[in-house]
Amino acid sequence: MKLKDLEIFVVAPPAPGWGGRYWIFPRLTTDDGITGYGECYASSVGPEAMRAVIEDVFTRHMQGENPENIEMMFRRAYSAGFTQRPDLTVMGAFSGLEIACWDILGKARNRPVWALLGGMMNRRIRSYTYLYPQPGQDSAHFWVDPDAAAEAAARCVEQGFTAVKFDPAGPYTIRGGHEPSMSDITRSVAFCKAIRAAVGDRADLLFGTHGQFTTPGAIRLGREIEPYNPLWYEEPIPPDNLLEFAEVARHVRVPLATGERLTTKAEFGALLRAGGVKILQPALGRVGGIWEGRKIAAMAEMFNAEMAPHLYAGPVEWAANIHLSAAIPNLLIAETIETGGAFHLKLIRHSIRWEDGHILPPEAPGLGIEFDEDLARAHPYDGALLHLQMQEEPCDYSRPNRFEGGAPATAAPR
């Protein structure tokens, strides 16, 4: 069995677009006709440029290879061009292709992917979601309104969720870490207070920041939200200085989580050695794939750290996360888009089940999903923007910052 053909789908989810502006799905086919689907969570270049990278990684390192040889193909891509170091774009391309190889291997052996990763450890996978506005609700106002967030959190708990995530402190800028404005700190406290009052002890609060703050700024904000006992304080500083997480952890009594913007075990290993972070959030479509995620989980065990696979992408990365989550002993929780996402589920013909706050690992071969290629082709992405984008304007200290979460606006938010 050898890898033969590649096709790439770049899909634009319809409004409201939770999960990003577009999703990139490679499909691999072997010389004996088995197909596998993957997903590349890479957004540092546009989708057409990314398509070229995926094609290059496939033809250069994988075409003609047995899909069993995951380690060999990873080492080729990781070492390409005499590098042997983490490369976000190349690893993003390889990740999606690697996930497709696991889908092929499971189908060839008539077993789900989790069975090939060590077997079933978790038959029900605890899940969480971001808080999203309801259809017809004023989206721009929702992201800055603690009462609206509290109402959304209460709805999620009634659905069965035991954890909800929100990120009220803006803005997301290209300028590296900044000090939070006092109005952002005030709003963050108001969100935590309102949501905790709405859910009581029925759900954990997950406080996100998207790497916005300087180390002192992260400490200032973190101390203010401590009384509401969040389960985690997510990515409080930019991901390009892993050593500073330990400094934040020394001063803030909320567990730190990070990892969605990191790639390969090399970066996660440095993070674990530095200390301070005990909740790892790899995005399998970026980190190097399922096998690299399995290695990171094993490393994390030795540091008494837990895994919380990240998802702000499409349903194939979600499926990959689920199979990894099913097989590891140090799983904390896995992200979903709401209870699976309307378009997400439609794109895989509802082949993954969410039930009472948990995801049920598929039993079907491979990833256990039924990818709808006709639907994917019917929703091509023809825009010029990246999957997610940050604004160039700095933090506003004279008035409250307003920004859009979830599906970002075309113009930079103010």
Alpha helices in 227-335 (DSSP H): 244-251, 264-274, 284-287, 290-302, 315-327
Q: What is the pLDDT of residue 410?
A: 44
Name the burial class of residue 114, with classes exposed (0-12), middle (13-18) and buried (19+) by CB atoms within 10 angstroms of its CB: buried
Q: What is the pLDDT of residue 138?
A: 86
Q: What is the pLDDT of residue 198?
A: 98
Query: Is residue 228 included in any domain, yes or no?
Result: yes
Pairing of strands 256-258, 232-234: parallel
How many other CB atoms are there within 10 angstroms of residue 76's CB atom? 16
Q: What is the pLDDT of residue 406?
A: 54
Query: Is residue 301 included in any domain, yes or no?
Result: yes
pLDDT (tens place) for every residue of the chain, 414 residues total: 999 999 999 999 999 999 999 999 999 999 999 999 999 997 799 999 999 999 999 999 999 999 999 999 999 999 999 999 999 999 999 999 999 999 999 999 999 999 999 999 999 999 999 999 999 888 888 999 999 999 999 999 999 999 999 999 988 889 889 999 999 999 999 999 999 999 999 999 999 999 999 999 999 999 999 999 999 999 999 999 999 999 999 999 999 999 999 999 999 999 999 999 999 999 999 999 999 999 999 999 999 999 999 999 999 999 999 999 999 999 999 999 999 999 999 999 999 999 999 999 999 999 999 999 999 999 999 999 999 988 899 999 999 887 776 554 443 332
Q: What is the pLDDT of residue 80?
A: 96
Q: What is the pLDDT of residue 405?
A: 63
Query: Is residue 262 included in any domain, yes or no?
Result: yes
Query: Is residue 329 included in any domain, yes or no?
Result: yes
Integer distance in angstroms from the first to the last C-alpha of the chain?
53
Joined together, the tokens standing for residue 367 give 């990833």
Query: Is residue 49 included in any domain, yes or no?
Result: no
Taking a C-beta distance cutoff of 8 angstroms, is the pair 68, 62 a contact? no
Q: What is the pLDDT of residue 10?
A: 98
Strand partners, 11: 23, 380
Q: How does DSSP classify residue 68?
A: T
Joined together, the tokens standing for residue 237 give 């500083």
- Domains in the chain, number: 1
Distance CA 272, CA 305 (A): 8
> Which backbone phi and psi does 295 adopt, to 5 degrees?
-65, -40
The CATH number assigned to the domain holding 346 equals 3.20.20.120
Compute CA distances 6 → 26, 31, 275, 330, whole Å: 7, 12, 41, 34
How many other CB atoms are there within 10 angstroms of residue 130's CB atom? 21
Query: Is residue 133 included in any domain, yes or no?
Result: yes
Q: What is the pLDDT of residue 391?
A: 87
Q: What is the pLDDT of residue 413?
A: 34
Which domain does 160 fall in, by range? 115-367
Query: Is residue 88 included in any domain, yes or no?
Result: no
Query: Is residue 218 included in any domain, yes or no?
Result: yes
Give the CA dihedral 8, 323, 12, 375, nearest 10 degrees.
70
